[in-house]
Structure 1
Amino acid sequence: MEDFHHNFHLFFDEFGLQQQRSYGSEPMTVQPQIGSGTLHRLIPRPDLDIVFEDLTFHSDFLMPLTTKTPMVELHYCMQGTRVLHVERNQYEFVPGMCVLQLVDEGSVQFEFTGNQPYQALSIGIPISTFHHYMEDYSGARNTDFSSLLGRKPFRLFQESIDPAADVIIRRLTQSVQSCRMKNLELESSVLELLWSAFQSFLFEPKLLRLSTMDKQKLQRARDILLERMANPPSLIELSRMIGLNDNKLKMGFKELYGTTVFGYLREKRLEKAFLLLQQGDLNVMETSLTVGYSNPSSFSEAFRDKYGVNPGHLRRRSF
């Protein structure tokens, strides 16, 4: 089996942490000269690496890393923000976000904000295990790591943490802190999180039977997203506002509009930003805030990915 654990070893080495075990449970304390907090690593079996992060850095912390082995990582951000730089792209991890990452060999850089607690759960598996999970009982497989990744060294899928996953994460965190969890419970909980993420990001959803009332509620959800573009509700808040459970909201919205709830919001934000920049009344910073991006760099990167031009260049061309 490929040693995907090496990527995690490199991550811990950058914190100045010494790993003593290659299996089991290992809590590690951050070096006091850079910050405070712990990273709790669990390796219940050879093809599974689980890390709970609870960190605070004294100042902004940049950490370069070169991954040596392809892997799949599922990351849940519960508190704080983290930015990941890959080639000329950057990705912001914010509270309440679930991120599925396909990672090939290559160089990345992590950016942590100083004096801000960062709490997260990461689950890593090797490519062989990922392919095993993608197979049906007959051995057939329609989803392949290389096909999903293409020619890029990195691919990311993201959406809000759904309520069911949030319950599992909280239970895992509490059990690990109290050291009261059997491997069976740990592994089954992690597999449930992986299944939920794969189903959401990688598998085609089964068509729902949407009633006229359901469609009206989903249209209302769309209208709310557009009305509150700069400060949208969470998925669970939106589901309550329209009177649908969160699962039917997610699945029904994708069936009706061809994308996820927050994928739709992202597209509409960028479309509005394009119009605002063409009008020329707002600068790039003001435009990014108007459409709901708190980080102008993340906005510029998303805008460039969609339209192939920097937002600043578009605004200058409008005069």
Structure 2
Amino acid sequence: MSVDFHHNFTQFFHALGILEPQKKSAQYMSFQSTLKEGAIHRFMPRTDLEVVVSDYSFHQEHQVNVSTAKPMVEISYCLQGTRGVQISNRDYEVTAGTCTMQLMEQVEANFIYNKDESYQMVGIGIPVTTFNHYMENINRNEGTPIRFSEVLRGNPFRFFQENINPLDMLIVKQLLEALVANRLTNLELECTVLQLLTRTCQTFFPHSTNPMEFSRDDRAKLFQARMIMAENMLNPPSLMELSRLVGLNDYKLKKGFKEMYGTTVFGYLREQRLEKACYLLQSGTMNVMEVANAVGYSNPSHFAAVFKEKYGLNPRDFIRYRSQ
């Protein structure tokens, strides 16, 4: 009998020491050991999707060893806690506020948990065929799509990690709130998860119209440039300053950034500012002026204009709309 990718999650749950769940599409699973507390919710909105919401802690340092039985792709949003992972003799760390994508074949994994640390995560698992399908759709008009085997390049495991995009954080938190309130239909869950999948695939695998023109070192520098702009919204460097910081001449920086990320350096900065503004307005902890200042806009009228251009509503109307 063939083993599907859901078996990888089942193996992990067994190794974690949870009570055997009932066989249904939405499963609540609690721990059978007093060494841990909390629970895991497991959802399967369709056969090629697995959604896992984890919220637990351990009363002592703990390790979980598990083997994957089927190639798959997992995307995780870590909201709380720092967890170590050892795979193929390499150490990785998953920290709060990060999104990770893991592509794996058959591997041995060792998960390391700290004592009395709360872990809250949302994980999405898909089989290889679904990953390839989404990469084809993302790049359907832009040449040959990236495939699972090409990303692995003969390795059994690849690990990608970035800070969670503010808009993605908003989507994940709204998803959690709806699941806790039990007001999310199976179709709504599926649609939300597919939205996150598409956005994350675009984040980790931006399409380049001419990827062979840039060396691996150049691509790493362009990625560094993107991170610098995202982390310095309030006081971003000029193009010349950014060029010096990453070690690329300004022509290659502008051309490479546009080809890798589909926008200019400052177009990317604008998108990051507006997505963070959307998240802050949704949180309800700041007024419009405070949000504008928090994302680098000193002129509130200009902020309102660019916000409306992106979202179709000015910030005050957006607040009223979201509260309804």
Letter in 2 for 1:146: S
TM-score (norm 2): 0.64
> In structure 2, what is the equivalent of residue 184 of structure 1?
187
> In structure 2, what is the equivalent of residue 166 of structure 1?
169
**Pairs aligned (count):** 232
> In structure 2, what is the equivalent of residue 298 of structure 1?
none
Segments of structure 1 that go 5 or more residues without pairing to the other structure are 208-220, 226-233, 245-250, 262-319
> In structure 1, what is the equivalent of residue 314 of structure 2?
none
Distance verdict in 2 for CA 1:54–1:151, change over 3 Å: same
> In structure 2, what is the equivalent of residue 27 of structure 1?
28
Letter in 2 for 1:105: Q
Letter in 2 for 1:16: G
- Structure 1 residue 32: deviation in Å? 3.9
| Equivalent pair of 2:21/2:28 in contact (CA under 8 Å) | no
Distance verdict in 2 for CA 1:38–1:199, change over 3 Å: same
Letter in 2 for 1:4: F
Letter in 2 for 1:167: L
Letter in 2 for 1:125: I
Counterparts of 2:236 and 2:206, CA distance in 1: 26
Mapping 1:49-88, distance limit 5 Å:
49-88=50-89
| Equivalent pair of 1:39/1:51 in contact (CA under 8 Å) | yes
- Structure 1 residue 205: deviation in Å? 5.8
For the residue of structure 2 that corresponds to 1:197, the secondary structure is helix
Counterparts of 2:19 and 2:50, CA distance in 1: 16
RMSD: 3.3
Distance verdict in 2 for CA 1:144–1:258, change over 3 Å: closer
Distance verdict in 2 for CA 1:37–1:146, change over 3 Å: same
> In structure 2, what is the equivalent of residue 175 of structure 1?
178
TM-score (norm 1): 0.65
> In structure 2, what is the equivalent of residue 238 of structure 1?
232
- Structure 1 residue 253: deviation in Å? 11
Cα deviation 1:275-306 (Å, max 9, x = unaligned): xxxxxxxxxxxxxxxxxxxxxxxxxxxxxxxx
> In structure 2, what is the equivalent of residue 150 of structure 1?
153
Letter in 2 for 1:122: G
| Equivalent pair of 1:3/1:69 in contact (CA under 8 Å) | yes
| Equivalent pair of 1:75/1:123 in contact (CA under 8 Å) | yes
Mapping 1:184-223, distance limit 5 Å:
184-204=187-207
Counterparts of 1:50 and 1:93, CA distance in 2: 18
For the residue of structure 1 that corresponds to 2:45, the secondary structure is strand
Letter in 1 for 2:16: F
Letter in 2 for 1:179: N
- Structure 1 residue 20: deviation in Å? 3.1
- Structure 1 residue 124: deviation in Å? 0.0
Counterparts of 1:254 and 1:182, CA distance in 2: 42
Cα deviation 1:175-198 (Å, max 9, x = unaligned): 111111012211111111111111
> In structure 2, what is the equivalent of residue 264 of structure 1?
none
Letter in 1 for 2:123: S
Counterparts of 2:148 and 2:209, CA distance in 1: 22
- Structure 1 residue 243: deviation in Å? 10
For the residue of structure 2 that corresponds to 1:69, the secondary structure is coil
> In structure 1, what is the equivalent of residue 257 of structure 2?
255
Counterparts of 1:82 and 1:253, CA distance in 2: 38
| Equivalent pair of 1:81/1:118 in contact (CA under 8 Å) | yes
- Structure 1 residue 68: deviation in Å? 0.5
- Structure 1 residue 152: deviation in Å? 1.4
- Structure 1 residue 116: deviation in Å? 0.5
- Structure 1 residue 169: deviation in Å? 0.5
Letter in 1 for 2:80: Q
Identity %: 34
Segments of structure 2 that go 5 or more residues without pairing to the other structure are 211-223, 239-252, 266-324
